[in-house]
Amino acid sequence: MPEVLLSNDDVTVLGPPSIIELQLDIGPEGQRGSQVFVGTGNPNSIAIGQTPELNDLYINTSPGADYGYLYQYVAEPGGDTWIEVLKLNPTIYSKNYSVTFTSGTGDIVIPISDITAAETAFVADNFSVQYSIAHDKPVSSAMSIPAIAGDDLTINLEAVEYDSGSWSDLNEEVVVHVFITIVEAGES
């Protein structure tokens, strides 16, 4: 409290307090802010190591259908839960398929739901497909994607192999590496 140095009816002059007391304390613990967890699998099915708080975030790094999803811990009727908020990377699908070629042709049929969870009417031009055929001899191939009918993406392949100085139709089971991304369909 300041000390009175001079006082009359019209003017009061105050000086600094004679003692300053400073107490340091960290205070009570406050509520933790938003935490970002990273783990392998759906956070509703695994232990993440801490008790989540509302609005915490979680990133699934486990390969599979839910890879790269960002989850948020929210209050819902029936209890707090993790919900998918967004996919952190573009829809990318890759898988190795065993394909049997007969007379140089083979097909791969992939459910669109395996590629993306988006509920959109897709056309063949929405899929950018890259592939390679694993073989111990040189292979030349071509690919076509017919119009989508139903819930599957069909990839038609034609291939020939080079052996003993000539090309012939591929007639065996081989592994085909497939890499697919979802793209905006181009204008015709």
Task: Find the mean pLDDT for residues 21-25.
Answer: 80
pLDDT at position 1, please?
59
Residue 90: CB partners within 8 Å, gap ≥ 6?
181, 182
Compute the distance between CA of residue 157 and CA of residue 153 in angstroms, rounded to an integer: 13
63 shares its domain with 111: no
- Per the structure, how many domains does the chain have? 2
The answer to the question of residue 56 being in a domain is yes
Both structure tokens of 146: 């017919």
Task: Find the mean pLDDT for residues 85-108.
Answer: 91
Is the pLDDT confidence value at 165 over 90?
Answer: yes
121 shares its domain with 141: yes
Task: Find the mean pLDDT for residues 5-17.
Answer: 73
Is the pLDDT confidence value at 46 over 80?
Answer: yes
pLDDT at position 83, please?
94
158 shares its domain with 80: no
The answer to the question of residue 12 being in a domain is no
Residue 158 · residue 104 · CB < 8 Å: yes
The answer to the question of residue 27 being in a domain is no
Identify the band that residue 58 occupies on the pLDDT scale cut at 50, 70 and 90.
very high
Nearest residue to 146 (alpha-carbon basis) of 117, 184, 182, 109: 109
178 shares its domain with 98: yes
Q: What is the pLDDT of residues 110-143, one digit of tens each?
A: 999 888 876 778 899 989 999 999 999 999 999 9
The answer to the question of residue 15 being in a domain is no
Instruction: Provide the residue range defining the domain that includes 62.
Output: 36-87
